[in-house]
A and B are shown apart, each in its own frame.
Chain A
Amino acid sequence: MRKVFKILSTIAVVGVLGSFGFGAIAETAQNKPDPKQFARGAKAWAKTCARCHNMKSAQDNSDEEWHVDVTHMRVRANIPGDVARDIEAFLKASNK
């Protein structure tokens, strides 16, 4: 019974945390980056990606591929969402 309570409480905490923002993530990634976002993204890209691996060229992926790839890395490397969006904006503006 105690175990069940533990699991339920864990799920409840997760749910409460989730309710703060699920579905509310802005679709700002679709928008054109402003120069400040581009600069922030370039800086974040340089310091975040190189923590584990070499940085691939921005031109290696299309916009859509970067969109998914950055989300994958956001999860794997615990990158805050706003920082991930900056990186995505930078990569999408640099792969043309």
Chain B
Amino acid sequence: MKAISYWSIAASMATAVASVSFTTPIFAQDINEAKLLERLNSLENEIKILKEQLQETKEQTAEVKKVAVKAERKAIKAEASSDIVRPNSWHLAGYADVGIEFSDGENSDTFTSGKFNPAFHFQYKDLVLFEAEFQVQTSTLGETEVDLEYSQLDFLLHDNAVLVAGKFLSPVGQFQERLHPSWINRATNAPAGFGHGGIQPISEVGLMLRGGVPLGQKLFTYSVAIGNGPRSGHDGVELEGFGRDDNSNKALSGRLAFFPFDNLEIGGSFLTAKIAPEAEEAVDDHDEPDTLAEEIVEGDYDLWGFDMAYTRNNWDIRAEYLTADLKGLGGDADHGEAPALSWEAWYAQAAYRLSGITDSSFIDKLEPVVRYGRFTAEGDHDLEDELNEKRFNVGLNYWASPSVVVKTGLEFRNYYADHRDDDTRLQFQLSYGF
């Protein structure tokens, strides 16, 4: 009896357990299905959004591809057109400047209209280059003055030789040929004795052979010219290129330079010429001056000098020296030999660009400059009084771009002549090289 009751208890318990175990999973399944449905809906939504985004991306990609193809076509077209260098090619360059000058000396305070110097370059293949530069400026009397600075044909003979024919800037020294444009010149004007009215020849009419010859890693350059040469004038000798010669002797001039290393150039220059006495030109340009050939006693004009340039990093240091003498001009059998005249001019200049020394972009563009020079003549008192001076310049340049500069400068002119007062000038100049 007792045993039967144990079996009944066990059966009851088994029934209870079974009933519990079957009823509980049915309840949990309902909950999971709901969650799954919810999750499914959520995933469907996400897929829908992703599909929309994918479509949008596809459309954007197509647009970008279209733009890229268009840009590439344009770039190819631009590159193709820019690569064209025609056999006859040309380039317009030059420079212009304006300025203001305040003076406590002989000159009044004044605005200066400055100069406009267009330069034309025409080239045929790699054979010949024609180049010409005009200088257009307003005179003190208000007239427009037009001068032909140079007009030359350059025959590219060889990698190391160019033959120049026509009117060209004198190769003597470095200032006139390479530094005088106002966007290159660090100061507002030429050093004393250089430029118009100075000792440095301005231009020449004739032939010049020039070029650069590498010597190992170093460079040697030469410029040798034969031309009409200088003439006698009111200020002694006029060193400009004349369209016709007044004597049959040709002037020989030139410059030889050497670069011991990349940043240092050392040059030597010379000019030797016969100069006829100043004569009244005939009215007709084609006529010779009305002085008989046998009466002319020509003078010997000889000039020589040297120059140096050191350009490294922020430094630009230059110096130039020229000396010339004229002997025997104007002498004749009655009065004997005329007195000799001599000239001497030199300058030294240093400029330092302040770029890279501070974080200021303004200071980066500043460049202090200092220059000192002298110009003296001997042999004629009037000439000495007019020309002899010491000149000291100190200035500060602001380079708005590599070829646009605003210059400010103080110039101290100390004249040798007792009757001339010293002159201090405050100068401003804006120059643009193009």
> Residues of A at under 8 Å CB distance from B?
3, 6-7, 10-11, 14, 17-18, 20-23, 25-27, 29-30, 47, 50-57, 61-65, 67-69, 71-72, 74-83, 92, 95-96
- Is the pair A52, B184 in contact by a Cβ cutoff of 8 Å? yes
> Which of B93, B156, B178, B179 is the most central at the interface, judged by chain A CB atoms within 10 Å of its CB?
B156
Name which residue of chain B comes closest to A50, CB basis: B311
Q: Is B221 an interface residue (CB 8 A)?
A: yes
Given that A23-B127, A63-B82, A78-B212 are known contacts, is A56 also in contact with B121, CB under 8 Å in the complex? no
Q: Is the CB of B90 within 8 A of A80?
A: no
Contact of B265 among A30, A51, A55, A74 (CB under 8 A): A51
Contact A54 B178 (CB under 8 A): no
CA gap between A21 and B249 in the complex, in Å: 31
Q: Give 27 A-B contacts (CB < 8 Å), ordered by A residue.
A: A7-B250, A14-B207, A17-B157, A20-B157, A22-B158, A26-B126, A29-B126, A51-B265, A51-B309, A53-B183, A53-B433, A55-B402, A63-B82, A63-B83, A64-B90, A65-B91, A68-B129, A69-B121, A71-B121, A74-B156, A76-B178, A77-B178, A77-B212, A80-B214, A81-B160, A92-B83, A96-B79
Q: Answer whether residue B162 sits at the interface, using C-beta atoms and an 8 A cutoff.
A: yes
Q: How many interface residues does B have (CB within 8 Å)?
A: 59
The A contact surface, by secondary structure, is helix
**Assuming A52-B178, A52-B179, A80-B214, is B123 touching A25 (CB within 8 A)?**
no
Expressed in whole angstroms, the Cα–Cα distance for A21 and B155 within the complex equals: 11
- The residues of A that contact B184 with a CB separation of less than 8 Å are 52-53
- 4 more contacts with CB within 8 A, not counting A54-B399, A71-B121, are A56-B403, A77-B178, A80-B160, A83-B212
Does B159 lie within 8 Å of A25, measured CB to CB?
Answer: yes
What residue of chain B has the Cβ atom nearest to residue A74's Cβ? B162
Contact B226 A64 (CB under 8 A): no
B156 & A25 in contact (Cβ 8 Å cutoff): yes
A-facing mask of B176-218, CB < 8 A → 1, else 0? 0111000110000000000000000000000101111110000
Contact B91 A78 (CB under 8 A): no
Q: Which residues does chain A contribute within 8 Å of B157, judged by CB atoms?
A: 17-18, 20-22
Known: A51-B311, A80-B213. A22 touches B127 (CB 8 A): yes
Judged by DSSP, the binding face of B is: strand
A54 touches B402 (CB 8 A): yes
Kindly supply a per-residue 1/0 record for chain B positions 225-256, scoring 1 wherever the CB is within 8 Å of any chain A CB and 0 otherwise: 01000000000000000000000111000000
A21–B179 alpha-carbon span in the complex (Å): 30
Mark interface residues in B370-392 (1 if CB within 8 Å of A CB, else 0): 00000000000000000000000
A61 to B79, CA, bound (A): 14
B222: Cβ under 8 A from any A Cβ: yes
The yes or no answer to B276 lying at the interface (CB within 8 A) is no
When C-beta atoms are compared, the residue in chain B nearest to A27 turns out to be: B126
B84 within 8 A of A: yes
Interface string of B89-103 (1 = CB under 8 A from A): 111010000000000
Chain A nearest CB: distance from B97 CB in Å? 14
Nearest chain B CB to A14 CB, angstrom units: 6
B178 touches A72 (CB 8 A): no
Contacts of B341 in A (CB 8 A): none
CB–CB B161/A17 < 8 A: yes
The 10 closest A-B pairs by CB, nearest first: A81-B159, A21-B158, A78-B221, A54-B402, A68-B91, A18-B157, A78-B212, A25-B126, A53-B184, A80-B212
